[in-house]
Amino acid sequence: MAIHIDGKTKLCALLGNPVEHTLSPAIHNFLADQLGIPLVYVAFGVERAELEDAVRGGLALGILGFNVTVPFKQSVMSCLTGLEDGARAIGAVNTLVRSDQGFCGYNTDWIGLKRLLFHADISLQGRTVVLLGAGGAAWAAAYVCGCEKAEKLYILNRTREKAVVLAERMHTQFPSMECCALEMNEWTKMEESGLIALQATSVGLWPHTNCAPIEDVKFYQRLDAAVDMIYKPEETLFMRLAADAGAKTANGLNMLLYQAVAAFELWVGRKVEPSVVSRAKDMLKQEIGFQRNG
């Protein structure tokens, strides 16, 4: 892919620290190239004390939009002129979109997960969901559970207090969704089976691939479906245990892909066709090192 840059080329960028291993430039430059949009995407590693200057500088330089990653997803909110509902509810921003007044903050992680579930044919409506984790990804996942009208949400986390905060916030946001916070090893207190599990901890992430947040096979026998937000490895131990117990499984690759597509669509103001998304996914698999069509 040869990038043509001229005086009309627009810039989008990632703000984070560190940013060296991000896949975002690969995805966004691929989408721009495929759609013939004069846009280049680069990654900026920014010091915490300089975040506000970076955002202000982006406005002055005409930067079309930013992605924001660790550790700035919360702190960037004080640099913005507006917040979309999802970002406000989740309490984190991963996308900034330029407006006349300044940058507006969006969260497209939840949109990525929603589209992942759609493509995996997993509906949360009226279901009992067990969410593992209470960090940033889990907040986005809990918001999806509310938006998709899950009946009950168990939030299991190593640090119980964080699960309690998330459960209380989601119950306030979505009063009809019952929310229960438990410590990870208290999963036996759940009475239901036919559960949909959303794995949002970093346990099992490459290269530490031989662990899962719960390893007891009896837990997995309770599941109808198991989604891991991790995308490397392609099949985590969590997914393997769930598949062995007969559950449908999906990894986090589509979440990564569709959160990027949603951000790109916000920046350029047009939809990305499914055929382009499909090619972007193939490219992403190669970047990550998956077997083709794997």
Which letter, b or e, does each residue of 58-77 get, where b requires 16 or more Cβ atoms within 10 Å of its Cβ?
bbeeebbbbbbbeebbeebb
Please tell me whether residue 162 binds ligand NAP under the rule CB under 6 A. Answer: yes
Can you tell me which of 81, 172, 193, 202 binds ligand NAP, judged by CB under 6 A?
Answer: 202
Which parts of 208-237 interact with ligand NAP (CB under 6 A)? 213, 229-231
Examine residue 255 and tell whether it contacts ligand NAP (CB under 6 A): yes
Q: Is 135 in the site for ligand NAP (CB under 6 A)?
A: yes
Q: Give the Cα separation of 11 and 25 in Å (integer).
A: 11
For 162-216, give the secondary structure using H, E and C.
HHHHHHHHHHHHCCCCEEEEEEHHHHHHCCCCCEEEEECCCCCCCCCCCCCCCCC
Give the contacts of 120 (CB within 8 A, at least 6 positions apart): 225, 227, 248, 250, 254
- Closest distance between ligand NAP and the C-beta of residue 277, in Å? 14
Alpha-carbon span 143 to 185, nearest angstrom: 23
From the list 8, 73, 218, 281, the catalytic residue is 73
Distances (CA, A) of 54 to 34, 44, 113, 120: 29, 9, 29, 38
252 makes contact with ligand NAP (CB under 6 A): yes
Q: How many residues bind ligand NAP (CB under 6 A)?
A: 25
Among 195, 250, 256, 263, binds ligand NAP (CB under 6 A): 256
Of the candidates 136, 142, 154, 197, which one interacts with ligand NAP according to CB under 6 A? Answer: 136
User: Does 134 engage in binding with ligand NAP (CB under 6 A)?
Assistant: yes
- Closest contact distance (angstroms) between CB of 256 and ligand NAP is 4
**Cβ closer to ligand NAP: 128 or 157?**
157
> CA–CA separation, 171 vs 155, rounded Å?
12
Residue 73 bears catalytic tag:
yes
Q: Which residues of this protein are in contact with ligand NAP, per CB under 6 A?
A: 109, 112, 133-138, 157-159, 162, 200-203, 205, 213, 229-231, 252, 255-256, 259
